[in-house]
Structure 1
Amino acid sequence: MTVPEIEEQRDSPPLRRRNAAATREAILRSALVAFTRHGYDGVGVREIAQQAGVTAMLVNRYFGSKEQLFAEVVEVTFSERTLIADDIASLSRFAAAALVASEPRSVDGFLLMVRSVSNPRATEILRAGIDRHFQRHLVSVLPGAHAHERAALFLSLLAGVRLMQQVMKNPALAAEDESALARPLEAMFQLLIEPPAEEDQPR
C-alpha cells in the first residue's frame, strides 16, 4: 500500500458512518444496553454516542432527542413478547414456565422499566409501550368480563415475580426444581385467564 493510500484510509470515516442503516442500528443497540443498565436518567446522549462510535450530534440527527431515542428503545424491546403466548390455551403455562426459567439479559424490558420509572416522561413512554404490546393483546384474547382489569393483573403478577427474581434476588425464586415454582404460578395466571363467575359479571 502506498503512502497516499494509507493517508486516504486514515482520513476516511469508518464504514458504519457512511451507512445510514448500520449507523442507526449501532446507536439503537448502544441505547438499548445503556438504558437497560442505567435507566433513562442514568445515561446521556454523549455516552450512548461514544459507545456507538458516533457523535452526539449524529444521535440527535437520527432520533431527534434522547426522549425519542428512549421511545424507540421501548418499542424495539417490547416488540418481543417473551413471556406471553398468542394462544389462550397455553397462555398460563407459557407465562409460568418462561418466568421461572428467565434470567437477566443485557437487554431486558423489565430492567429497562424498573430503572427508568423515576422519570415521569419515561414512565409515560413505558406505560404506552406496555399497553400497545402487552395489555391490548391480553385484552383481545381474554374471554368474559373485566378483561382490561384481568389483563392488568396478569401483567402485575409477571412484573412482581420478575422484581423479586432479578432485583430483590429472593433465593426462594431460584429453586432448582423449576416445576415447584411453575405449578402455582400457572394456577394463579389461570385464575386471571378464566372468565369471572356469572354473579361477578355486569348485568
Structure 2
Amino acid sequence: MLAAAVVEFTEHGYAKAGVRQIAERAGVTAMMINRYFGSKKDLFAETVDRSFGPPTIVGDEPRGLTRAMAHTLAERTASDAERLDPFLLMLRSASDPEAVDIVRRGIETHVGTRLAGLLGGPEAEVRAQLGLALAAGTWLLRAVLGTNALATADTDRLAELLADMLEPITWETGADDPAGAAGQR
C-alpha cells in the first residue's frame, strides 16, 4: 500500500492523489487503507517518511561527503535517472497547506538531521539546510525544468562544480579527515 502511495503522491501531489486511486494501484480497497492509516493525511505522512528515510543524496559516511553528495546529485538529476524520487514528492505537494508541514518535517527529520550530523561543528543545521537548498535548486533546474546548461552538462563535470560549491558549506577541503577540516574553522 505504501509503495502505491509513494507512486501516486509523487506523480500527482498531495491534493490530486486520491485514496481510491492509491487503493486501486495497491490492489486493495480504500476502506482497507483508511483502516491501516486512518486518513489521507496520515498515509501521506507515512509516505513521506518512507520516501525521505533512506539516503538519496546524503549518505551515511562523513569521509568524502562533499564529493559523494555532489556526484550522487549529478547522477540523480541526469536525464536518464529515475524520476520517482523524494524531490518530486516534495515539489508536487509543498504548495498544499495540509501537506507542507509534513514535507518540511520529513526533510528536516530525515535529510537535514542526517546531513547536520555528518557535518558537525558550529551551525551544522544551517549549513546542512544550505547544502539541501543547493541540491533542491539543482534538482529543480536540471531534472524538472531542464534548463539547457544544466540538462546537457556532463555529469562528471557537474559533480566537480557542485563539489566546489558544497566545500564551503561542508568545510571539507579535499582532506582525508573532514572533521579536521571542520575543526580548523
Q: TM-score range by the shorter chain?
A: 0.7 to 0.9
CA offset at residue 46 of structure 1? 1.2
TM-score scaled by structure 1? Answer: 0.79
| Alignment counterpart, residue 19 of structure 2, candidates 45, 58, 68 | 45
User: Structure 2 CA distance, aligned partners of 1:126 and 1:105?
Assistant: 20
C-alpha contact (below 8 Å) 1:34/1:43 kept by paired residues: yes
Count of residue pairs brought into register by the alignment: 172
Shift of 1:133: 0.8
Larger radius of gyration: 1
1:175 and 1:167 mapped to 2: Cα distance? 13
Determine the structure 2 residue equivalent to 1:188.
165
Among 163, 166, 172, the alignment partner of 2:140 is 163
Matching residue of 1:154: 131
Uncovered stretches (5+) of structure 2, i.e. residues with no partner: 172-181
Instruction: Determine the structure 2 residue equivalent to 1:144.
Output: 121
Partner of 1:126: 103
CA shift, 1:197, in A, is 7.7
CA deviation after TM superposition for structure 1 residue 105, in Å: 2.8
Aligned-CA RMSD value: 1.7
Flag as ranges the 4+ runs of structure 1 deviating above 3 A: 195-198
Q: CA deviation at 1:35?
A: 0.3
**Relative contact order (alpha carbons < 8 A, sep ≥ 6): 1 or 2 greater?**
2
Unaligned runs of 5+ in 1: 1-26, 199-203
**How much has 1:171 moved relative to structure 2?**
2.1
**Alignment partner of 1:108 is 2:85:** yes
Please tell me whether residue 88 in structure 1 is matched to residue 88 in structure 2. no
Structure 1 position 178 matched with structure 2 position 155: yes
CA contact (8 A) 1:46 1:56 kept: yes
Taking the aligned partners of 1:151 and 1:144, their CA distance within structure 2 comes to 11
Q: How far does the alpha carbon of each residue in 1:31-71 deviate from its partner, in whole angstroms, 9 at most, with x for none? A: 11000000000111111112222221111011111001101
**In structure 2, distance between residues paired with 1:106 and 1:61:** 30
The counterpart of 1:61, out of the listed 14, 35, 48, is 35
Match of 1:76 in 2: 50
TM-score under structure 2 length normalisation: 0.86
| Native 8 Å contact 1:37 1:106 kept in 2 | no
